Amino acid sequence: MTQLRRLPTGGRIDRERPVRFSFDGRSLQGYAGDTLAAALLANDIALVGRSFKYHRPRGIVAAGAEEPNALVTVDAGPGRVTPNLRATQVMLHDGLVARSQNRFPSLRFDLGGMAGFAAPLLGAGFYYKTFMGRPALWQRLYEPLIRRAAGLGRAPKVADEDWYLQQYAHCDVLIVGAGPAGLAAAWTAAQSGARVILCDEQAEPGGYLLSAPGVMIDGMAAPDWADAVVAEIRDRITVLPSTTAFGWFPGNLIGLAQSLDPVPADAPRPDRADIQPRGWRQGAGDAVVTQQDLDPYRLAEPADQVAPPRERLWQVRAERVVLATGAIERPLVFPGNDRPGIMLAGAALTYLHRYGVLPGKRATVVTADDSAYLAAADLFRGGMDIAAVVDMRERPHSDAISAVRALGITIHTAAEVTGTEGWVRVHSVRTQGGAAVIPCDTVLMSGGWTPTVHLASQARQALRFDAASGTFLPAHGAIGAASGTFDLAECLRQGAAAGGIARDFAVEGMPQMAPSVRPAPARPHAKAFVDLQNDVTSKDLKIAAEEGFVSVEHLKRYTTTGMATDQGKTSNLNALSTLAALTDRPMEAIGLTSFRPPYTPVTLGTFAGAGRDALFAPIRMTPIDPLGAVLEDVGTWKRARAFPVGKETLAQAVARECAAVRSGVGIFDASTLGKIEVSGPDAARFLERIYTGAFQSLVPGRCRYAVLLGEDGFIRDDGIVARIDADCFHVTTTTGGAAFVLHHMEDYLQTEFTDLQVWLTSITEQWAVIAVQGPHAAALLAGFIRDVDLSAMAHMSVCSALLDDIPIRLFRVSFTGESGFELNIPPPDAQRVWDALKAAGATPYGTDAMHVLRAEKGYIIVGQETDGTVTADDVGLGWTIARGKGDFVGKRSLRLADLARADRKQLVGLSQADAEPGIGMQITEPGQDRPIGHVTSAYPGVTLALVEAGRSRMGETLLIRGETADLAVTVVDPVCYDKQGTRLRPTPVPAVTAQALAPRPPSSAPVGVQAPGVVMVSLAPATLLSLRAPAGISSIGVALGMMLPTVPCRSVISNRAALWLGPDEWLVQAPEDAPALMALIREAAGDHPVGITDVSWRTRALEISGPMASWCLNGFCALDLDPRSFPVGMCTRTVLGKAEVVLWRIAADLFHVHAGRSVFPYVWACLRQTILAVDAGV
Partner 1 sequence: MLLIPCPWCGKRPENEFRHGGQAHVVRPENPDAVGDEDWAIFLFLRDNPKGRHVERWRHIHGCGRFFNCVRDTVSDHIDATYKPGEAPPA
Instruction: List residues binding partner 1 (CB under 8 A).
Output: 249-253, 315, 317, 460, 711-712, 743, 746-747, 750-752, 754, 887, 891-893, 895-897, 1048-1049, 1061-1063, 1065, 1118-1119, 1132-1135, 1140
Compute the distance between CA of residue 1064 and CA of residue 58 in angstroms, rounded to an integer: 68
Amino acid at 407: L
Cβ proximity to partner 1, 523 vs 596, nearer residue: 596
Of residues 767, 772, 768, 797, the one with CA closest to residue 784: 772
Task: Give whichever of 681 and 1062 is closer to partner 1, judged by the CB atom.
Answer: 1062
| Least distance CB 1155 / partner 1 (angstroms) | 12
- Name the residue type at position 1154: H
Closer by beta carbon to partner 1, 170 or else 430: 170
Q: How far is the CB of 1143 from partner 1 (least distance, A)?
A: 11
Closer residue to partner 1 (CB): 839 or 896: 896
CB 359 to partner 1: min, Å: 43
* Nearest distance from C-beta of residue 748 to partner 1, angstroms: 8
End-to-end CA distance of the chain: 38
- We find the least distance from the C-beta atom of residue 750 to partner 1, in angstroms, to be 5
Least distance (Å) between residue 537 CB and partner 1: 36
517 CB-near residues (< 8 Å, 6+ apart): 368, 369, 448, 468, 469, 470
CB of 1063 to partner 1, least distance (A): 6
Q: How far apart are CA 340 and CA 329, in angstroms?
A: 18
Q: Which is nearer to partner 1, 1038 or 1135 (CB)?
A: 1135
Whole-angstrom distance, CA of residue 462 vs CA of residue 459:
9
| Beta carbon nearer to partner 1, 367 or 458 | 458
From the centroid of its chain, how far is CA 200?
Answer: 23
Considering the complex, what minimum distance in angstroms separates the CB of residue 593 from partner 1? 18
How far is C-alpha 783 from the geometric centre of its chain's CA atoms? 51
- Measured between alpha carbons, how far is 1047 from 1025 in angstroms, rounded to an integer? 19
Q: What is the dihedral of CA 746, 750, 753, 757, to 10 degrees?
A: 90
Residue type, position 679, single letter: S
Task: Please say which residue, 584 or 887, places its beta carbon nearer to partner 1.
Answer: 887
- Shortest distance, position 449 Cβ to partner 1, whole Å: 30
3-state secondary structure of 1176: coil
Conformational region of residue 159, where left means phi above 0, alpha means psi within -120 to 50, and beta covers everything else: beta
With CA atoms as reference, report the closest residue to 476 among 587, 344, 590, 323.
323
For residues 363 and 1119, which CB has a smaller minimum distance to partner 1 in the complex? 1119
Q: Is 9 exposed, middle or buried (0-12, 13-18, 19+ CB in 10 A)?
A: exposed
Q: Rank residues 371 and 762 by Cβ distance to partner 1 and give the closer one.
A: 762
Q: Are strands 342-344 and 243-249 parallel, antiparallel or unpaired?
A: unpaired
Instruction: Name the minimum Å distance from CB 1126 to partner 1.
Output: 11
CB of residue 759 to partner 1, shortest distance in Å: 11
- Alpha helices for 518-645 (secondary structure H): 538-546, 552-559, 572-582, 587-590, 604-608
Cα–Cα distances in angstroms (integers) from residue 943 to residues 405, 848, 937, 938, 1031, in the given order: 93, 14, 6, 4, 54
Shortest distance (Å) from residue 1140 CB to partner 1: 5
Please report how close the Cβ of residue 386 comes to partner 1 at its closest, in angstroms.
50
- Least Cβ distance, residue 711 to partner 1 (angstroms): 6
Residues 615-627 as b or e (16 or more Cβ within 10 Å = b): beebbbbbbbbbe
677 near 665, Cβ under 8 Å?
A: no
CB 27 within 8 A of CB 20: yes
Whose Cβ is closer to partner 1: residue 372's or residue 882's? Answer: 882
Nearest CB to partner 1, comparing residues 317 and 1000:
317
CB 1077 within 8 A of CB 1025: yes
The burial of 803, by beta-carbon neighbours within 10 Å (0-12 exposed, 13-18 middle, 19 or more buried), is given as buried
**Nearer to partner 1 by C-beta: 685 or 854?**
685
Nearer to partner 1, 425 or 689 (CB): 689
Q: Is the separation of the CB atoms in 1036 and 1079 below 8 Å?
A: no
Strands 385-391 and 449-451 come out as: unpaired
Which CB, 190 or 1143, lies closer to partner 1? Answer: 1143
Using CA atoms, how far apart are residues 326 and 495, in angstroms rounded to an integer?
12
- Residues paired with residue 239 on neighbouring β-strands, in sequence order: 198
What is the Rg, in whole angstroms, of the alpha carbon atoms belonging to the chain? 37
In the complex, minimum distance from the CB of residue 1121 to partner 1, in angstroms, rounded to a whole number: 12
Closest to partner 1 by CB, 315 or 431: 315
